[in-house]
Amino acid sequence: MRKRSKIFRFLLSIILFIATIILIEKELANYSYTDIKNAVSEINREMILISVSLSILSYILLIFLDSLAFRYTGLKFEYYKIIFVSFVSRAFGNNLGISALSSSAIRFRFFSLWGVPYNKIIKIITFCYSTSWIGLIAAGGFIFTFWPVTIPSKFNFFIKDNKSIGIIFILLSICYVVFSIGRKHINWHFEFPTLSITFIQISLSLVEWSIAGCVLYVLLVNAAKINFFTFMSIFITAQLIGVISNLPGGIGAFEFIMISFLSQFISVHEILSGLILYRMIYYLLPLFFAVALLGAYEISVKREAFSRLADFFDSFIAPFVPLVLATGMFAGGFIMLLSGSTPSELWRIEWLERFFPVATLEVSHFIGSITGFLLLMLATGIKRRLNSAYFISILLLVIGILSSLLKGWDYEEAFILFVILLLLIPSKKHFYRKASALTSYLSVNGMLLIFLATASALWIGFFSYKHVEYSKELWWQFEFKKNAPRFLRSTLGIALATILYTIAKLLKPVTDYTMENKGKGMEDARKILTTSIKTYSNLVLIGDKSIVFDKDRDSFIMYGVSGKSMIAMGDPVGNSEGISELIWLFYEIAMKNGKRVVFYEVGTEYLNYYLDIGLNVLKIGEEAVVDLYEFSLTGGSRKGLRYTYNKLQKEGCSFRIIEPLEIESVIDELKEISDGWLDLKKGSEKRFSLGSFEEGYIKNFRIGVIEKNGKITAFCNLWETSGKNELSIDLMRYRPDSPDSVMEFLFINLMLWGKENNYKWFNLGMAPLSGIEGRELSVFWNRFGNFVFNLGGQFYNFKGLRNYKDKFSPQWRSKYIVFSGDLSLLSVLKDVYILVSGGLKGIIKK
């Protein structure tokens, strides 16, 4: 359902964009590219400077609104950090809308990095998002009501003007204020701000929207022909339609509404010239500086690379490097497409004509357009850290620089590509994935952005040359001053590149990664187990998990699906050389299926790979491991263990190991003990992170048993690893009438047996929520986890379990849950809990 929804939104966005382009084309039927170009040149430079200044002021007010969000949450925070995150998130959010780079995602990542509690971040994001809508509704209500604008008859709308919408917006604004006054009596998930904050929120939003409108108003050559408030009524209407259209930055939809409404006052080509500069000043220029700020932040971290603090920051900032470079690559590709779609300056062509033959210009133009399109396609590979995409991108950027200079002496374009190249070359360490660029799938948002960029550039090209009458001879005209034929040939080249890329993707072998847990899949998994040094890898033998292998099939991830999550059990298992690519592969499979990615109970070994993808990491407890080389029952600290060991021996209890080939003779007795234990606990078999009593599974392992009077009274199955690195147990079952401390006696004997057989570690398993700091400045999850650990004994004795394992003087290793989605923690925990409990029935029975 979720995947279908994405496809539907993708198709809807494309349909809306195409419809908008067709409508704009009709509006511009009587105008040419030259008319618009001349109109842009007529805009006074002082007005452009004023527009830039107003744009800066608008972003400053947006920063104040973000600062107000911290006041709303009651949290004090450094202003320079608020300024940084506010500007960067707004710049990306304005341009990319609801994409993965939205303002909310950037706010969440940086604020969580700087220690802002999760619940506070969610409140800040909610406040900022609601402020945008409240400001737009309040401004629309005021403007629409007192300065309504007539809706053009061509829309055939059921109302003549937007005054009635304004009245509705005023009522909504009043309701918001009333809810703020009665906030203490309203029990909603959203906490309404105080009346004073509400007043500031609405006032600042009104002013900010007014200034944002002024940015465009001063760029209109004949703006004096229209009343400012009437203009604002049109501007806010266009902004609303742009947001509703679901297109990134409302591109196309916003322009169409502005042209349709303003054309009764100002000529269309003058409107479009102002809109072009408005996009550049209010959208693209801030985005450029936001990318530069992120890059500067990374560089500032690198300068302190010798300090531990910088190393810490580097591990968190590293995910942004490919992101920033991918954005730059995409922008560079779009600029090259635009350049190839519009006529070159005549003086530049004449200058090139002195030194180069026409073939140089023709070939450079064709290659430049193809290069621009390929840069758009490769941006996804750069974002996903593909090694091949890194090297191909360097080659394409060099080709792009040369073609930019030779096709029309576009030194500005060449300079932009050169800057991207300078940023890309020293970043090689971030592109470690040894995979083909064809393996990088395109997300729905990625495909939408590429389509919009390519379609926009091609439409601009056809608009620029619409005065040229089409004929077959155009394809074979090769002259310095003939731009239209070059555009036609480039369009054909882009179409061929698209077809070839699509064919390559379709012909690429597709591996079915779902439910590969039987037959050859299980055989290969067993081979990998013989080299594994982690006992949890034996969970693959249960057979209840799907398996994903790397391309060489010498490492795997075992996982289950629950709700909206694909949940991997532990870290990947096997050869470490293929682990990074395997993690990315699992991530991409989950994304293709519309699922969240979750890695449950992972250690620290591969945390850098999870962070590289941009996943969230939370500590969920600690794992106890006993050094068997040092373990003994001597000494004062082992007095309690000695007492248990001697006491049960005197009661006639003994320990022995049953080999796998001998299990058949005692399987019925073990089954009886297991069933009695489940009845005693009034529970059901768990799954996923624990084994269950199934003969096929149990017979894979040695069994450790405690016998009394020749009868088995307790047992466990042993997990062992390659090279005798680690020993652990899975199922632990005992009879209801077993002696007290029988399981402790079993543990002691297993450790002594492990030491005698030269095992290095004994893994006692995890103590949930153990070792989580709950200080005042800790994130919400840490404080909540610490609270449950200390006071949650009525539900589960977390603290008691930790104290029990401490008897064996273990070393404690941190364990984490890693997941995608900034605001999905509760859903992730719910999905994991259902999976581990063996479904809803398991939860009820527990």
Q: Is the pLDDT of residue 840 over 80?
A: no
> What does the pLDDT average to over 450-459?
78
| 279 DSSP 8-state letter | I
**pLDDT for res 656:** 92
pLDDT greater at residue 567 or residue 328? 567
Residue type, position 631, single letter = F
Q: Report the amino acid identity of residue 413.
A: E
In which residue are the tokens 């040894």 written? 434
If one compares 770 and 472, the residue with the highest pLDDT of the two is 472
The pLDDT of residue 809: 87
Residues in the chain: 846
Position 775 scores a pLDDT of: 43
Q: What pLDDT is recorded for position 154?
A: 65
pLDDT exceeds 90 at position 515: no
What is the rounded distance in angstroms from the CA atom of residue 513 to the CA atom of residue 520?
Answer: 13
Distance in angstroms (rounded) separating the CA atoms of residues 14 and 87? 29
Between 59 and 21, the more confident residue is 59
Note the pLDDT of residue 303.
46
Predicted confidence band of residue 442 (pLDDT cuts 50, 70, 90): low
Could you please report the per-residue DSSP string of 315-381? Answer: HHHTTHHHHHHHHHHHHHHHHHHHHHHSPPPHHHHHHHHTTS-HHHHHHHHHHHHHHHHHHHHHHHH
CA–CA gap between residue 619 and residue 772 (Å, rounded): 7
Distance in angstroms (rounded) separating the CA atoms of residues 29 and 828: 53
pLDDT band at 752 (very low <50, low <70, confident <90, very high): very high
Q: What is the pLDDT of residue 599?
A: 92
Q: What is the structure's pLDDT at 472?
A: 74
Residues facing residue 719 across a β-bridge: 728
Q: Quick check: 52 and 281 in contact, CB under 8 A?
A: yes
Identify the pLDDT of residue 607.
83
Residue recorded with tokens 């309701």: 175
Asked whether the predicted pLDDT for residue 309 surpasses 50, the reply is no
Q: 533-547, 746-760, 823-837: lowest mean pLDDT where?
A: 823-837
Type and span of the H or E element at 841: helix 840-845
What does the pLDDT average to over 806-824?
81
Average pLDDT over residues 285-312: 57
**Residue 442 corresponds to which tokens in the numbers above?**
């395109």
All domains of the chain in start order, with CATH? 318-510 (no CATH), 523-600 (3.40.630), 624-845 (3.40.630.30)
Given pLDDT bands bounded at 50, 70 and 90, which one contains residue 312?
very low
What is the reported pLDDT for 188?
Answer: 55
pLDDT digits (tens, 9 = 90+) for 713-747: 999 999 988 888 899 988 888 988 888 889 899 99
Q: Supply the pLDDT for residue 447.
A: 75
Confidence of residue 181 (pLDDT cuts 50, 70, 90): confident
Nearest 5°: the CA angle 775, 781, 784 is 70
CA distance 169 to 136: 9
Name the amino acid, one letter, at 426: P
Question: Treating both helix axes as pointing N-terminal to C-terminal, what angle do 411-424 and 387-408 enclose, rounded to 10 degrees?
Answer: 160
The pLDDT assigned to 842 comes to 46
Residue identified by tokens 């001879």 is 473
Find, among 393, 435, 397, the residue nearest to 415 by Cα: 397
Residues 594-620: pLDDT tens digits?
A: 688 899 889 888 887 887 777 877 888
Q: What average pLDDT does this structure show over 205-223? A: 84
Is the confidence at residue 508, as pLDDT, over 70? no
- For residue 653, is pLDDT > 80? yes
Strand 596-602 versus strand 565-569 pairing type: parallel
DSSP-derived letter for residue 427 is G
- Who wins on pLDDT, 581 or 762? 762
Is residue 423 within 8 Å of 302, Cβ to Cβ? no
Residues 87 and 293 sit within 8 Å (Cβ to Cβ): yes
**Residue whose C-alpha is closest to residue 114's, from 320, 321, 324, 316:** 316
SS3 call for 606: coil
What would the mean pLDDT of 520-544 be, rounded to a whole number? 86
End-to-end CA distance of the chain: 31
Report the distance separating Cα 593 and Cα 447, nearest Å.
16
Burial of 209 (0-12, 13-18, 19+ CB in 10 A): buried
Tokens standing for 48?
A: 């452009």
Output the pLDDT for position 753.
93
Residue 358 has pLDDT above 70, yes or no: yes
pLDDT at 623 over 60: yes
Structure tokens given for 731: 């199922």
Give the pLDDT of residue 39. Answer: 60
pLDDT category of residue 435 using cuts at 50, 70 and 90: low
- Residue 572 binned pLDDT confidence (cut-offs 50, 70, 90): very high
Task: Tell me if 359 sits within 8 A of 479, measured CB to CB.
Answer: no
H/E segment holding residue 716: strand 711-720
Worst-scoring range by mean pLDDT, 119-133, 252-266, 467-481, 778-792? 778-792
Whole-Å CA distances, 719 to 105, 538, 765: 41, 7, 12
Please give the mean pLDDT across all residues of the chain: 77
DSSP annotation of 283:
I
**For residue 234, what are its two tokens?**
């049109």
pLDDT of residue 436: 64
Q: Which amino acid is at 666?
A: V
pLDDT band, very low/low/confident/very high, at 157 (cuts 50, 70, 90): low
The pLDDT, as a whole number, for residue 714 is 92
Residue 315 has pLDDT above 60, yes or no: no
Top pLDDT among 754 and 804 is at 754
Q: Answer whether residue 553 shows pLDDT above 90.
A: no
| Confidence band, pLDDT 50/70/90 cuts, at residue 8 | low
CA distance 18 to 476: 30
User: What is the longest distance spanned by two Cα atoms in the chain?
Assistant: 105
pLDDT band at 511 (very low <50, low <70, confident <90, very high): very low
Q: CA 260, CA 256: separation in Å to the nearest integer?
A: 6
At 629, list the tokens. 């080389």
pLDDT at 139 over 90: no
SS3 content of the chain, % helix, strand, coil (to 5): 65, 10, 25
